[in-house]
C-alpha cells in the first residue's frame, strides 16, 4: 500500500514518513501544493495525507483540483484548524477524514488503514481468505491463527491483494502500490516476492493468471 | 437624545410656519378689509356731508341752517346725525344733542374733510366726517355728519368670522398636505429602515440600491460599511486560523519529538503540548466565532445538521453508529453559519465519541428560540462532571489531542448568543446536551 504525505513542515513530514513506513506503507512526500497536485494526479496512491496549510497552493485548493481531475484516492486531512466549519468545507471539497494537529502518529496510521479498507469496499476490519487473516487495524497477518512474518514489500503486496480479492491484479499495478517514486520497479521482483509470500502461507491463495497478473482466491473446500 | 423623529420634526416645523404665516396673513387681510370698509363708510359720510352742505340756506336773520336733508337725519333712533358749526354756534339734527359737546376737528382748508370718532346718544359709537366750508360772516363753518359705526363693526366682525372659518379650512387642508408631502418624501427612508431590518435578520445580504439618488448614496454607503465589516471579520478569522495552523504545526512536531524520547520527560512534554494545543483551540475558537455585532446573519439549521451528520458519519465510519435526526419545522438560527456549524458539530461529535450505538439530534422552535438537543446512549456524566465539562478549557476524556473541548466551546458560543448549554440525562441512557439559541424570524 502506497501513501502520499503532503506536509510542508520538514520534521513533521519526516516523522510521518518514518511512522508510515514502519507500519508497512510505501511513502512519497510532497513539500508544497504544486508537488502534491502533481504527484496526486500522476501516481495511483492508496491514500493521501494532506496538510491544509501548504505553500504555493493551499491544501483545500489541491483537494478541489484532484477531485475535479477525477482523482478519487481517499484523502486524510491533516489540519490545525479544528473548527467544524473547516471540517465541513473539507468534506465538501471531497475529504474523507480529518486529523487535527497535534496528533498521535498511531491515530494517523489507524485512520489511513480504515480509509484504504473502506475505499476498497471492505467493511470489516479483519479481512479473511481461507485460514489467512489480515488484521487491518493492527497491520498483521495470521495463518491458522499463527502470525505470518512478512517483509514490508511482501506485506504491501499481500495487503493489496487481500483488499482486492477475486480480481486479476497486474504486476505493474502491484508495483505501483508497493514501491515509492524513488524505487526501481522491475516486474520480475514482483514474481519473486509473490513466490516468497506463497512459501510463507499454508495454502496457496494467490493464483497466477498467465499474461495478466495475479488473483487472490480463497482455497476450495 | 431628541425624542422627535424626522417626520414629527418636518410636520411640526411646517405647522409652526403655517400658524405664523396664517396669523400674519389673516391679520393683514383683516386690517385691509377694515380699512376698506372704513374708507367706504367715510366716503359715504363725505357724500352725505357734501349733500347737506349743498342744501345749506340762510334764514331770515341771515344765519346758516340745513335746508334739505336725507329723511333719516330727521328720524329719531335712525343713527343719522349732523352738526353745523358757525363760529361757536352749533346746530344739530334731531337727537344729536350729544354731538354738541363733541370737539370736532377742523380740516386744514375749505372743502377738506376730516374723519373722526364720536359718541352719540347713550354712548353709541359714531363715525363722523367734518367738512370745512367757506367762512360765514368771518366765522369758520364746519358741517359734521355722523353715523352709527356699529354697522361697520358688525361688517368687520362678520368678515373676521368668515376669515377665521376660511383660514381654519385652508389650514386643515395645508396641514393634511404637509403630512402627505412629508410621508411621501420620507417613504424611501422608511423603506431603507425596513430593508435594514431585513439585513439585520439575515434575509437580505445587502441593502437594495433602488432608491432616489440621494438615499441611494446612503444605501451604497451602508453597503460599503457592511462589506468592509464582513471583509474585516473574514480577515480576522483567517488570520486567527493561520496563527492556529502555524502554532499547532510546531506543536505537532514538538509532540512527536517528545513522543520519540519514550521516557517520563517525553510523556510530560506530550501532555504539555496537548494542554497548549487545548489553550490555543479554546482562545482561537473564541477569537474566530460569535456574532459580528450587527446581528446580520442567518443560518439554515436543518442544512447544518445534515452536513454535520454526514461529516460525523465519515469521522466515525468505523463505529457504525445510528444517528437519528428530528428537525421538521426547525427554525433558522439567527447568527453566523460557522458558529451554528461549530455548535452542532461539537455536540454531535461529542455524542458520537461517547455513544454506545445511538445518537439522536433534535431541533425545534420554542417561541423565538431555537432548541437543539443532542443525546447519546453512552455512559453519561454525573452532576460534578457536568459542571466541569462546560467550564473553560476543561476536558474529561484523554482520548487524544483535540478531543473533549467541544462542550466548553458550545457553552461559550451559546452564551455569546444570549443562550446557554444545559446537560441532562437522556432517555437513551447517556448524556442529553440542550442548547438554547436565538431563532431567526420566519419568512
Task: Tell whether A131 is within 8 A of chain B (Cβ).
Answer: no
Q: What is the pLDDT of residue B405?
A: 64
CA distance A90 to chain B (A): 9
Which residues touch B196 (CB under 8 Å, ≥6 apart)? B207, B222
CA distance B430 to chain A (A): 23
Q: What is the pLDDT of residue A32?
A: 94
Q: Is A139 left (phi over 0), alpha (psi -120 to 50) or beta?
A: left
The predicted complex's ipTM stands at 0.81
pLDDT-wise least confident of A76-80, B22-26, B92-96, B427-431: B92-96
- Write down the domain spans for chain B: 10-153, 202-288, 294-438
**What is the mean predicted confidence (pLDDT) over B322-345?**
90
CA distance B209 to chain A (A): 32
Domain range B10-153, its CATH number among 3.30.70, 3.30.450, 2.130.10, 3.40.50: 3.30.450
**What is the mean predicted confidence (pLDDT) over A50-75?**
92
pLDDT band per the 50, 70, 90 thresholds, residue B139: confident
Burial of B413 (0-12, 13-18, 19+ CB in 10 A): buried
Q: What is the pLDDT of residue B432?
A: 92
Q: What is the pLDDT of residue B291?
A: 60
Please report the DSSP string for B390-420 in residue order.
TSTT-----SSTT-S-HHHHHHHHHHHTT-E
pLDDT band per the 50, 70, 90 thresholds, residue B399: very low
Pick from B371, B348, B379, B367: nearest CA to B421: B371
Q: What is the pLDDT of residue B181?
A: 92
> B315 vs A97: CB contact, 8 Å cut-off?
yes
Question: Average pLDDT over chain B, rounded to whole?
Answer: 84
Chain A residue at shortest CA distance from B338:
A85
Half-sphere exposure of B399 (CA within 13 A, CB side): 10
In B33-72 the beta strands, taken as DSSP E runs, fall at: 56-58, 64-66
> B248 vs A97: CB contact, 8 Å cut-off?
no
pLDDT band per the 50, 70, 90 thresholds, residue B403: very low
Report the Cα–Cα distance between both ends of chain A, in Å, rounded. Answer: 30
In chain A, the domains with their CATH numbers are 2-119 (3.40.50.2300), 126-216 (1.10.10.10)
pLDDT band per the 50, 70, 90 thresholds, residue B396: very low
Q: List, for residues A164-212, the tens digit of each pLDDT value.
A: 999 999 988 888 888 888 877 776 888 899 999 999 988 888 999 988 8
Q: Residue B393 above 60 pLDDT?
A: no
Q: List, for residues B98-124, the tens digit of each pLDDT value.
A: 777 778 788 888 889 999 888 887 888
Q: Residue B290 above 70 pLDDT?
A: no
The percentage of residues in chain A with a pLDDT greater than 90, rounded to a whole number, is 51
Q: Is B212 left (phi over 0), alpha (psi -120 to 50) or beta?
A: beta
Burial of B56 (0-12, 13-18, 19+ CB in 10 A): middle
Chain B residue at shortest CA distance from A7:
B249
The percentage of residues in chain B with a pLDDT greater than 70, rounded to a whole number, is 92
Evaluate whether A46 touches A164 at the Cβ level (below 8 Å). Answer: no
Q: Residue B259 above 90 pLDDT?
A: no
CATH number of B294-438: 3.30.565.10
For A87, the closest of B245, B285, B311 (CB atoms) is B311
Question: In this complex, how many residue pairs, one in chain A and one in chain B, have their CB atoms less than 8 Å apart?
Answer: 108
Q: Is A183 left (phi over 0), alpha (psi -120 to 50) or beta?
A: beta
pLDDT band per the 50, 70, 90 thresholds, residue A76: very high
Q: Roughly what angle, to the nearest 10 degrees, separates helices A84-93 and A59-68?
A: 30
Angstrom CA distances, B380 to B56, B362, B431, stand at 130, 18, 4
Amino acid at each position: 500500500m502506497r501513501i502520499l504525505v503532503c506536509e510542508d513542515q520538514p520534521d513533521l513530514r519526516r516523522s510521518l514518513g518514518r511512522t508510515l513506513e514502519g507500519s508497512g506503507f510505501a511513502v512519497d512526500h510532497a513539500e508544497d501544493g504544486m508537488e502534491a497536485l502533481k504527484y496526486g494526479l500522476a501516481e495511483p496512491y492508496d491514500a493521501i495525507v494532506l496538510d491544509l496549510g501548504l505553500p504555493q497552493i493551499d491544501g483545500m485548493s489541491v483537494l478541489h483540483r484532484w477531485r475535479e481531475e477525477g482523482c478519487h484516492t481517499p484523502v486524510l486531512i491533516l489540519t490545525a484548524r479544528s473548527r467544524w466549519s473547516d471540517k465541513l468545507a473539507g468534506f465538501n471539497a471531497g475529504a474523507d477524514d480529518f486529523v487535527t494537529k497535534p496528533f498521535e502518529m498511531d491515530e494517523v496510521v489507524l485512520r489511513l488503514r480504515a480509509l484504504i479498507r473502506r475505499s476498497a469496499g471492505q467493511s470489516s476490519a479483519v479481512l479473511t481468505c481461507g485460514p489467512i487473516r489480515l488484521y487491518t487495524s493492527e497491520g498483521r497477518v495470521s495463518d491458522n491463527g499463527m502470525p505470518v512474518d512478512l517483509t514490508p514489500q511482501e506485506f504491501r503486496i499481500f495487503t493489496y491483494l487481500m483488499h482486492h480479492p477475486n480480481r486479476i491484479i497486474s504486476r505493474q499495478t502491484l508495483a505501483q502500490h508497493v514501491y515509492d517514486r524513488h524505487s526501481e520497479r522491475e516486474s520480475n521482483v514482483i514474481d519473486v516476492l509473490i513466490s516468497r509470500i506463497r512459501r510463507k502461507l499454508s495454502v496457496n491463495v494467490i493464483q497466477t493468471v498467465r499474461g495478466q497478473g495475479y488473483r487472490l482466491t480463497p482455497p476450495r473446500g | 437624545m431628541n425624542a422627535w423623529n424626522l417626520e414629527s420634526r418636518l410636520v411640526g416645523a411646517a405647522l409652526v410656519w403655517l400658524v405664523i404665516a396664517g396669523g400674519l396673513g389673516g391679520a393683514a387681510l383683516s386690517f385691509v378689509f377694515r380699512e376698506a370698509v372704513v374708507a367706504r363708510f367715510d366716503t359715504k359720510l363725505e357724500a352725505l356731508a357734501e349733500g347737506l352742505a349743498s342744501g345749506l340756506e340762510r334764514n331770515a336773520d341771515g344765519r346758516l341752517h340745513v335746508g334739505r336733508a336725507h329723511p333719516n337725519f330727521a328720524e329719531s333712533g335712525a343713527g343719522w346725525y349732523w352738526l353745523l358749526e358757525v363760529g361757536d354756534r352749533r346746530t344739530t339734527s334731531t337727537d344729536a344733542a350729544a354731538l354738541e359737546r363733541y370737539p370736532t376737528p377742523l380740516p386744514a382748508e375749505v372743502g377738506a374733510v376730516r374723519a373722526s370718532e364720536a359718541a352719540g346718544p347713550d354712548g353709541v359709537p359714531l363715525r363722523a366726517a367734518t367738512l370745512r366750508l367757506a367762512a360765514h360772516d368771518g366765522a369758520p363753518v364746519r358741517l359734521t355728519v355722523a353715523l352709527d359705526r356699529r354697522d361697520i363693526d358688525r361688517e368687520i366682525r362678520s368678515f373676521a368670522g368668515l376669515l377665521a372659518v376660511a383660514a381654519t379650512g385652508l389650514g386643515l387642508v395645508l396641514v393634511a398636505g404637509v403630512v402627505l408631502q412629508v410621508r411621501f418624501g420620507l417613504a424611501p427612508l422608511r423603506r431603507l429602515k425596513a430593508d435594514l431590518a431585513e439585513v439585520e435578520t439575515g434575509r437580505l445580504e445587502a441593502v437594495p440600491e433602488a432608491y432616489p439618488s440621494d438615499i441611494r448614496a446612503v444605501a451604497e454607503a451602508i453597503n460599503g460599511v457592511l462589506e468592509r465589516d464582513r471583509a474585516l471579520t473574514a480577515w480576522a478569522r483567517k488570520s486567527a486560523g493561520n496563527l492556529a495552523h502555524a502554532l499547532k504545526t510546531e506543536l505537532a512536531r514538538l509532540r512527536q519529538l517528545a513522543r520519540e524520547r519514550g521516557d517520563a520527560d517525553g510523556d510530560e512534554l506530550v501532555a504539555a503540548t496537548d494542554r497548549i494545543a487545548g489553550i490555543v483551540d479554546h482562545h482561537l475558537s473564541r477569537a474566530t466565532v460569535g456574532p459580528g455585532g450587527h446581528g446580520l446573519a442567518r443560518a439554515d439549521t436543518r442544512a447544518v445538521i445534515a452536513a454535520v451528520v454526514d461529516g460525523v458519519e465519515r469521522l466515525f465510519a468505523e463505529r457504525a453508529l445510528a444517528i437519528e435526526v428530528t428537525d421538521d419545522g426547525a427554525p433558522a438560527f439567527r447568527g453566523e453559519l460557522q458558529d451554528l456549524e461549530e455548535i452542532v458539530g461539537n455536540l454531535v461529535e461529542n455524542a458520537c465519541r461517547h455513544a454506545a450505538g445511538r445518537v439522536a439530534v433534535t431541533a425545534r422552535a420554542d417561541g423565538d428560540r431555537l432548541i437543539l438537543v443532542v443525546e447519546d446512549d453512552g455512559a453519561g456524566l454525573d452532576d460534578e462532571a457536568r459542571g466541569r465539562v462546560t467550564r473553560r478549557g476543561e476536558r474529561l476524556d484523554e482520548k487524544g489531542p483535540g478531543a473533549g473541548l467541544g462542550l466548553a466551546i458550545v457553552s461559550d458560543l451559546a452564551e455569546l448568543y444570549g443562550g446557554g448549554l444545559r446537560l441532562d440525562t437522556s432517555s437513551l441512557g447517556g448524556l442529553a446536551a440542550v442548547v438554547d439559541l436565538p431563532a431567526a424570524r420566519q419568512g
